[in-house]
Amino acid sequence: MTDIFKPIADDRSTQASASDPFPGQSTPANEAGRTVLVGLLGGIVSAAGYVIYSRLPDDQREKLHAQVRQAVDSRVNELRSRFNL
């Protein structure tokens, strides 16, 4: 075997099992599990945020709305200036 066709050894390939079809890469089942986990965590965080938001007094909600409007306005203006709209 010439040097051109020899695989390069790295830490990932030495840790992979012999039955792994793609050493050093995650399997599709692993990716699906990660996707479900991220989705579940995102749902939990958004539900907690909604519970906190729903318990805020009206004056704090208005302050939060004003901050969000200001952030959105600044982002829209930045995008308009970039695209010359």
pLDDT, one tens digit per residue, over 9-20 is 665 545 555 565
Tokens of 80: 């308009």
* Cβ atoms 44, 37 nearer than 8 A: no
**Residue pLDDT, tens place only, 58-81:** 999 999 999 999 999 999 999 999
Three-state secondary structure call for residue 45: helix
- The full set of domain ranges for the chain reads 27-83
Identify the CA nearest to 24 among candidates 36, 37, 40, 8: 8
- Secondary structure (3-state) at 21: coil
Q: Which residues contact 20 (CB under 8 A, 6 or more apart)?
A: 27
Contacts of 7 (CB under 8 A, 6+ apart): 13
Q: Is the pTM of this model over 0.95?
A: no
